[in-house]
Amino acid sequence: MKLVILDRDGVINHDSDQFIKSPDEWVPIEGSLQAIARLNQWGFQVVVATNQSGVGRGLYDMDTLNAIHNKMHRAASLVGARIDAVFFCPHTAEEKCACRKPKAGLYEEIAARYRCDLEGVPAIGDSLRDLQAAVAVGAQPILVLTGKGGKTRVDPKLPEHTQVFTDLAAAVASLTP
């Protein structure tokens, strides 16, 4: 099985320092959904792993988060793309859970659900914590310069062997024939 793990905010859709708190605020980055369709066409299972501490902060509830993800799935399907699963952490950093990136809990849950080793699996994100979680499970960290990616690129803690691309479309082009 071919698998790819994507962060959501800043990779698939535009990010906001005030959080994406409603379906109206969820706006795809140009070309991102088409890039997911290309992954699907080449046989990849596409999984999203995303921190959603806005739930834990009380900025939005689970019904709203589900509505945001429903919008994402519908928008993807309109261009022939499919997101196979969404794994999320609803906790705040203060809760010190095992699933909040940079910890590896979400990625370990993905490995268990798909019954696979994540060694070398492309994990695409825009923040240092996305890349650190990928490294923790042996996945291939890939940084996109959308979202927080520009700032992340110059972080001295950037994991070694991180591949860097302008956006999801460029990253996907490197993965598909």
For position 72, what pLDDT does the model report? 98
Known catalytic residue at 7: yes
For position 177, what pLDDT does the model report? 72
For position 176, what pLDDT does the model report? 74
Considering the candidates 9, 15, 126, 167, report the single residue annotated as catalytic.
9
Total domains present in the chain: 1
Residue-level pLDDT, tens digit, the chain, 177 residues: 899 999 999 999 999 999 999 999 999 999 999 999 999 999 999 999 999 999 999 999 999 999 999 999 999 999 999 999 999 999 999 999 999 999 999 999 999 999 999 999 999 999 999 999 999 999 999 999 999 999 999 999 999 999 999 999 999 999 977
- Stated as kind and residue range, the H or E segment containing 74 is helix 62-78
Considering the candidates 7, 15, 130, 167, report the single residue annotated as catalytic.
7
- Written as one letter, the residue type at 72 is M
For position 26, what pLDDT does the model report? 98
Minimal CA–CA distance to 28: which of 66, 63, 79, 102? 79
Q: What CATH number should be reported for the domain holding residue 58?
A: 3.40.50.1000
Range of the domain at 32: 2-175
For position 61, what pLDDT does the model report? 97
For position 5, what pLDDT does the model report? 98
Q: Are 130 and 101 in contact (CB under 8 A)?
A: yes
Long-range CB contact pairs, 125-128, < 8 A, 24+? 125/6, 125/7, 125/10, 125/11, 126/7, 126/9, 126/10, 126/11, 126/15, 126/152, 127/7, 127/10, 127/101, 127/152, 128/102, 128/152, 128/155, 128/157, 128/158
